[in-house]
Structures are given as structure tokens and as C-alpha cells.
Amino acid sequence: MKENNMYRFKDIKPVISAKDLVDVVLSRTQRKTPTEIHKGFKITRIRNFYMRKVKMCQELFKDKLQTIINDFPKLDDIHPFYADLANILYDRDHFKLALGQCSYASKSVVKICHDYIKLLKFSSSLYKCKMLKISALGRMCKVIKKLQPSLLYLEEVRQNLARLPSINPHKKTILLAGAPNVGKSSFINCVSRANVEIQPYAFTTKNLYIGHFDLGLNKYQIVDTPGLLDRPLDNRNTTEMTTITALAHINGVILFIIDISETCGFTIEEQVNLFYSIKLLFINKSIVIGFNKIDKCNLDLLSPENKLIIKDIVKEIKTPLKFCSFSTLTGIGVEEAKAEACNMLKNENSSNMLLLDQQNIINSKIAVQKINSDRVPYIPQSVIEDRIKKKELQQQNKNNNSGVIILSSNSSSNYSGSSGKMGNGIESTETGSTIASEKYNDMTKSELIRYENDDDSSMDIFAHTGLPTIPIAESNLMREVKLKKKDKSRQSYLSNRNDNKILQIDLQNQNGGAGVYSVDIRNHYDIKEEYKYDVIPEIYNGKNIADFVDPNIEEHLLELLKEEEEMLLINKNVEIDPLWFKLNTVLNKMSLKLKQLRLEARMNTEKQPLAYKKKKTIEEFEKKIDELKLNKEKILASMTEKARKNNNNNNKTKEHIKVKKDISKKQNKKQIKDTMYNNPTKKSRIFMSTSTELQRKKAYKLNKMAYKKIVKGTKGEADRTIIAKKPKHLFSGKMSLGTSSRR
């Protein structure tokens, strides 16, 4: 049976922690994908190698999460008894959230894989592929690690579900109920092979327990429940709620046990009251009331009050009811009670029970919607009163208008009757329009709204043409038609009005037209006149900004400055450090200069083209001097002086030139081809820092190594390399016998 499969809570696979899940998946991807790759391989091969790894990891994660989601029961699909029980024990929302997070994680893992495979397709080197793979797996693992709390919770739920009794709600069932310590567990132990704990104190049983027995050819199940106290539903604890769910959802006979000896700690009256308080759960169910512990107290020995209370039960309860008495300690009457309960069960049609079950499932699903449909919108009293007032106003206006319309109808009848009286047709249309405009003018604001609503009602005709719902395109069309109608009526009103009413459109035309004039909305605020133009407070971080604004701050500042000046005048002897004044002036100058420079820089945004000096020949130079009629000798003398000065400045370069000459002399035979070696500055530096030829060569080599260009994507220092896998003794070299204790 399909339903039976659903209740195999014991078959749910254990949920491992996030860390274990990551370890399992990563090691499996390592095992299931190839491990050898070299940078010499084709790039497509390298890409496929890493893409396969990412995909494998994603599939494994997805599989693992999917099994978790599939294993756990869906609370909406299982029997309402289990759904409610799960809600009470593990909180329905929490459970759903945890499963939802699992499914979200699996989706995000898929997305990550998708993204990284896209990137891997375009990566250009082994190194890049490798890094992408690492980051993809890392991100997936991070998503899974975030799931840790949900996975822990689900594991707890799984363990709890596995411990639940496998009650078949469709089987013939006897449900034991009653106050704590009355002997429910003793009864189940007597009639079945169940081994439920029995103790002389209340609330020994904290879970549902199930027992099975055969009677005749039929098989029955009997359910032991935790004891109930007579208190409202809201105050009941989880153990009590498990009993309530069992009584509410499992169909069968209810065996309500009453301890007539009252040794359980509850009087007969209290126990009967408890029975009445939960009688709603017994609708459509047969009830057997069993009086236990008759070995301690006989039924005949009960006080008349208690007898009366027991008799009243028959009057109160209208469902099939039977009484029996027994003692689970001595075993007297237990078999009879069992047989009685089974008989009651037999009478009930089993197919009916199944139907009831299905009905239960359907009802539980419909119930949510029922609540929604019955919900009435909350309208405040003041609004209702306002509406009534408006309606009355509308009624009054209607009455007034109806008088006008009657008149107009008369006039139109006159017109139709005798054309000579009314003159031409144009006049008649004018009268009609004026009446219409009057009607429009008389309308108050509320009426205008109604007018618009009337349009709606006219459109409702479309809505009730037999179609239950209007498609979106159709509704849009209707909206357009509605707007056009509104616009037409507005324009006709504006063109035909004769009154002196000043409308917003008039004000707009007077004050600059649309876009310039803005409507005074505040005038229409539904508050007292005095408050309408108040400043609306600006709130920032929960505080009114106005509280922190001082409107007279400038005045206060001026006052402070005045005070300072006065103080200075009074205390003339106050000595101010003269250095302070000096510093102040310098700083001011600096800031001004900086500002000026910045401005200039801003002005010269375009770079000026570089002008190079042209080399002139001596003849040209002399020509120029002649043209300008300058003293030739003087100029030449100054030039020589300048040259001398330049020579003095370039003393250092002279040394360099000397060294260059030396190098060229010594290395005439061996020309170095490298461009870098031909660099004279580097050469000279190396030459000066070294003394021998050997040192020089080494220095050149090191220099070359240091300036070597690094090609991206190739093997670098960061790459892990295992150069040679050799055991330690192979590296150790030869050794004589007995010299080492290593082995």
C-alpha cells in the first residue's frame, strides 16, 4: 500500500553533519575522477579534466541533499495524525524550513557549478583551470557548511520519528484515554504483548505506545496514551497534546478509564469532568467507559453523589456508549472489557472508517481556506459613520436633482409635442446640456467619487455576462474604455459649464498653466484647519531633526563674537604670542597660493605640446647675431663661461665615460649580445662593484635572472610540486653498519 510506505519513518537514512558530508563528497570526487594532468596537454583536455571534477562534486552534493529531502515525509501528504504529531513534537514550520534550506542549498550548488563551468570553458591555462576548480569546490563546501544547524535538527527529528510507534490509522484501533495514574498502561500490558512502564505516580507514560492482539479472526491494535489533566487546550503541554492528536485523528473505539478507588489522585467527579471537556474529540466514535481498580473499591460501594455523576454521563453523551468494570491488577473483567470494545469496533463499518479518514485529510486541507473566506474586513466605527453621512447627503442631492430632471423631461416632451413652441433644435440641445452641467456642478466631491463608481458599475455589466473571471487583456481594455468615458464626461462638463465656480483647472490656467502651477493638496487634508499648514517633521534615526536645529544660531554666533571683542577691549593686557600672528599670515599665504595653483591647473586641462629646441649651425647662429646687431665677442665669452659651468656640473658623468672607455677596451674580443649587457649604466655599476672576471660573470647572470620576465599561467613558486618520491634512506647516502639507530 502506498500509504504504508509513507509511514516507514524507520527507513529514513541518517543525516550526517555538514563537515562529514563535505569530506565524503570531496573524497569521492577525488576517487571517481582522473588525477593526472600536465601543462603540456591540450587546453581542451585540461579544461575537461577540471570541468569533470566540478560537475562530479555538484552531482554528489545534489544527490545527498535530494535523498534527505525525499526521505523525510511531506507533512501535507501524510495522514493528518502524523502531520499534527510532527507539528507538536518538532514544530511544523521549523521542519519545513530545514527541508527548504536543504533544497535551496542543492539549487545553489547547481548554480555555482553552472557558473564555474562557464568560466572554465574560457580559461586559458592549467593554472587558471586549477584555481577555478578550487574556488568552485570551496564555494560549494561553504554552502553546505552553512546547512549545519538544519542538518543537525533533521537528524534529531529522524531519530525521534524512528522512535514513534508505527500506528496504522486505517486499522481497527482501541484508544486508551483517561487521567494520569488510572491504569491505562496496566490495561495495555494485560491485553497485549506491549511492555509499557507502570509506576505508582502520574505522567509515567510520555509517548504513544502500541500493542497488538487477535480476537477471533480479527487483528486489533491498542494505543496507550499519556494521561490528561482537565485544563484548557492552550495550557496543555506537549505530552498531553500527543494524546489529543491521537484521539482527534485516529478512528476507533475509545476506552476511557476511570479510577473508581480515587487512588490516582483525582476524584471521580474530576475524571468525569475531564471526560466532558474532551468529548468533542469523541464525535463519530464509540465509547467504552471502564471503571478500573475494582479490587480496591466496588461500584456498589460508591457514594450516591458519585453514582449520580456516573449516571449523568449517559444523558450527556449521545454517541454509542457502554460501561464495564475491571481490575488490571487481578485481571478480573479485563477480557470482557476488551471483548466489549472489539464488539463496538465490529459494528462500525471498516470502509466507513477509511472514508472518514480520507475526509479528514481533505478537511484538513480545506480548513485553511475556510478560515480565509470567513474573514471579515475591519472597518473602524468612525469610517462607517462617515459613510452613512455621505450616503444621506447623496440621497438629499439626488432628490434635489430629480426635480430638475423631471422639469427637463417635461421640456423635452413639450419640444417633441410642438416644435413651434421651443424654436429650433439647437436651443433644445443647449437646455439639455445646461441641465447636465447644473447636475454636475451640484455634485459634491463625494458625489464625484460616486459618479466614477457608477462608471464602474456600468462596467460591471461586462463582468456579469456569464464569464466567472475576466482575462487580463480584457480587463485592460475595459479600463481604457472607462478612462475614455471619464475623460469625455470631464471635457463636456468643462466646455458647457456656466457657473462661477473656480476649479483647480482655472487656478492652473491663471497661474502659469500645467507644470508651473501645483495644486494646493494641503487644503484638502482631512484635519483641522489650524493644523493643515504645519511643518511636517522630518525624522532621522527615530529622532525629529527640528529638535536639533537652532533657528537663532547666527544671532548667537554674532553675540559670541561681540562678547569676545569686548573681552579683548577690557583685558588689553592679555598677551598674545607674536609668533602666532606670523604663523597665521604664512599659513594664509600658503593656502592662497595653493588655491591659485589648483585653479591654474584646472584651467590648463589640455596638455601643451612639447617644444623641442632645434639644433642650429654656427653659421645660422652668427647670422642671427648679425641681424640683431649684438656684440659678438661678449656673447661668445658668456657662452664659453656657461659651457665651463656645465662641465663642472657633469664631473660625475665624466667618470662614467672613463669607465665606459675602459670596458670597451677590455671587452673588445668578447661582445655581449644581450641588450641588457649593452646597457652602459648597468655595465658600469657591475664593473665598479666587482674586481675579478669570475665575479663579474656571476653578477651578470644574477642580474639577468632578477630581470627575467614572468609568463603568466605557467608553473610558479606557489604550485605544489613533488620533485621525486624517494624514501628517506635513499637521500641519506652511504653509512657504515651500526652507526645509525634510524631503522
Ligand X SMILES: Nc1nc2c(ncn2[C@@H]2O[C@H](COP(=O)(O)OP(=O)(O)OP(=O)(O)O)[C@@H](O)[C@H]2O)c(=O)[nH]1
Residue 665 CB coordination number (10 Å): 8
* CA atoms of 459 and 613, how far apart (whole Å): 88
Q: CB-based contacts of 85: which residues, under 8 Å, 6+ apart?
A: 164, 242, 245, 246
Helix H or strand E segment including 253: strand 253-259
Among the residue ranges 13-21, 87-95, 179-187, 514-522, the one whose residues contact Mg ion (CB under 5 A): 179-187
Contacts of Mg ion in 368-407 (CB under 5 A): none
**Which contacts of 371-377 are long-range, i.e. CB under 8 A and separated by 24 or more positions?**
none
Q: Of Mg ion, ligand X, none, which one does residue 360 interact with (CB within 5 to 8 Å by kind)? A: none
Among the residue ranges 119-127, 326-334, 513-521, 534-542, the one whose residues contact ligand X (CB under 6 A): 326-334
Q: Does 225 engage in binding with Mg ion (CB under 5 A)? A: no
Among the residue ranges 205-213, 298-306, 489-497, 648-656, the one whose residues contact Mg ion (CB under 5 A): 205-213
Instruction: Annotate 420-441 with DSSP letters as a single string.
Output: HHH--HHHHHHHHHHHHHHHHH
First to last CA, the chain: 67
CA distances (Å), origin 491, targets 259, 445, 494, 512, 516: 87, 17, 5, 21, 22
Instruction: Using CB under 6 A, pick the residue from 4, 124, 148, 199 that binds ligand X.
Output: 199
Among the residue ranges 126-134, 177-185, 459-467, 545-553, the one whose residues contact Mg ion (CB under 5 A): 177-185
Residue 695 CB coordination number (10 Å): 12
To ligand X, the closest distance from the beta carbon of 177 in angstroms equals 10
338 vs 450 by CB, closer to ligand X: 338
Instruction: Annotate 566-602 with DSSP letters as a single string.
Output: HHHHH-TT----HHHHHHHHHHHHHHHHHHHHHHHHH
Helix (H, G, I), strand (E, B) or coil at 16: coil
Contacts of ligand X in 359-388 (CB under 6 A): none
Q: Of Mg ion, ligand X, none, which one does residue 292 interact with (CB within 5 to 8 Å by kind)? A: ligand X
Helix (H, G, I), strand (E, B) or coil at 701: helix
With beta carbons less than 8 A apart as the criterion, state whether 153 and 232 touch. no
Contacts of Mg ion in 46-105 (CB under 5 A): none
Among the residue ranges 69-77, 288-296, 556-564, 670-678, the one whose residues contact ligand X (CB under 6 A): 288-296
Strand partners, 258: 291
331 vs 425 by CB, closer to ligand X: 331
Instruction: Using CB under 5 A, pick the residue from 185, 189, 239, 292 that binds Mg ion.
Output: 185
Q: Does 204 engage in binding with ligand X (CB under 6 A)? A: yes
Q: Does 205 engage in binding with Mg ion (CB under 5 A)? A: yes
29 vs 186 by CB, closer to ligand X: 186
> For the window 206-245, what string marks contact with ligand X as x by the rule CB under 6 A?
--------------------xx------------------
Q: Of ligand X, Mg ion, none, which one does residue 489 interact with (CB within 5 to 8 Å by kind)? A: none
To Mg ion, the closest distance from the beta carbon of 198 in angstroms equals 7
Across the chain, how many H-helices and E-strands are there? Answer: 27, 8
Q: CB-based contacts of 293: which residues, under 8 Å, 6+ apart?
A: 182, 183, 259, 260, 261, 263, 327, 328, 329
Q: What's the longest Cα–Cα distance across the chain?
A: 156
Q: Of ligand X, Mg ion, none, which one does residue 328 interact with (CB within 5 to 8 Å by kind)? A: ligand X
To ligand X, the closest distance from the beta carbon of 165 in angstroms equals 15
Q: Of Mg ion, ligand X, none, which one does residue 200 interact with (CB within 5 to 8 Å by kind)? A: ligand X
CB-closest chain residue to ligand X: 227
To ligand X, the closest distance from the beta carbon of 216 in angstroms equals 26
193 vs 464 by CB, closer to ligand X: 193
To ligand X, the closest distance from the beta carbon of 214 in angstroms equals 23
Q: Does 270 engage in binding with ligand X (CB under 6 A)? A: no
Instruction: Using CB under 6 A, pick the residue from 186, 221, 239, 286 that binds ligand X.
Output: 186
To ligand X, the closest distance from the beta carbon of 134 in angstroms equals 58
Q: Does 204 engage in binding with Mg ion (CB under 5 A)? A: yes
**Neighbouring C-alpha atoms within 13 Å toward the C-beta of 530:** 0
Among the residue ranges 92-100, 167-175, 321-329, 376-384, the one whose residues contact ligand X (CB under 6 A): 321-329
Q: Which of 303, 301, 299 is nearest to 289 (CA)?
A: 299
Torsion of CA 328, 333, 335, 340, to 10 degrees: -120
Q: Does 327 engage in binding with ligand X (CB under 6 A)? A: yes
697-730 b/e (C-beta count within 10 Å ≥ 16 → b):
eebbeebeeeeeeeeeeeeeeeeeeeeeeeeeee
> For the window 166-185, what string marks contact with ligand X as x by the rule CB under 6 A?
--------------xxxxxx
Binding site residues, ligand X, CB under 6 A: 180-186, 198-200, 202-205, 226-227, 292-293, 295-296, 327-329
